Amino acid sequence: MKKILLFLLILISLQSFSQKNIYENSRFDELSANHEILAIVPFIAKLELEQSLSKEEQTKLAEREGYAVQDALETYFSRRKKRKKFNVEFQNIKNTNALLAQNNITYENIDIYTVKQLADILNVDGIISGNLDLNILLSKGVPTEFKFLDYFSGDADYGRIGVKISDGFSGKLLWKYEKEITKKTGKNTAELIDRMMKLASKKFPYDKEKKRKKRKN
């Protein structure tokens, strides 16, 4: 019984922590009123690995991590979309990446383009993007050994992730969610995204249920 209560306390604290790290633009409803489709672009990753790597190797590994998050987000949204959880569509990332390539936009230079430019090129209403700071290769998986003290110890800190949604017309930031990456957030990229987005689901701005509650209030 004590173990169950302790687990519940940890779960509640995680949920409340995640909500404190969520920002939503006060004009979200106004700016997103006509949104129908969003594009997920590769995340910009910054690696601080223990091993010594060349600049080229570092760039390739960072690129892999950035695309892994893009893929994991698409998988998460696709599963939820099947249950009709959202009031927007998400552009297929194969189409997104093909359009970026056709316009000579690569992982190395995507950060010099504005949200408005990307939205125009991709023909979408909004852009989902973000940043990763990692000291491990998350796509390869985190160490599997688990210690209870890892919940409270900084030794299990593998970095941080930030997910952003921006309006394609104005370029304004609409929503942002930041979270530390630890053993408890998942053993790889797919688990990390699945767990963190589930924690943020009640605060996700395009959630149909959230929209209904807003109308009632």
Q: 86 or 212, which is more confident? A: 86
Highest mean predicted confidence (pLDDT) among 5-14, 17-26, 119-128: 119-128
139 CB contacts (<8 Å, ≥6 apart)? 64, 65, 68, 188, 189
pLDDT surpassing 90 at residue 107? yes
pLDDT surpassing 90 at residue 163? yes
**What percent of the chain is modeled with pLDDT above 70?**
79
Separation CA 167–CA 53 (nearest Å)? 37
Strands 22-24 and 173-181: antiparallel
Burial 54-64 (b: 16+ CB within 10 A, else e): eeeebeebbbb
Q: 158 or 72, which is more confident? A: 72
Global pTM reads: 0.82
- State the pLDDT at residue 148: 46
Separation CA 20–CA 135 (nearest Å)? 24
pLDDT surpassing 50 at residue 18? no
Distances (CA, A) of 136 to 3, 69, 163, 180: 31, 14, 19, 13
pLDDT surpassing 80 at residue 126? yes
pLDDT surpassing 50 at residue 95? yes
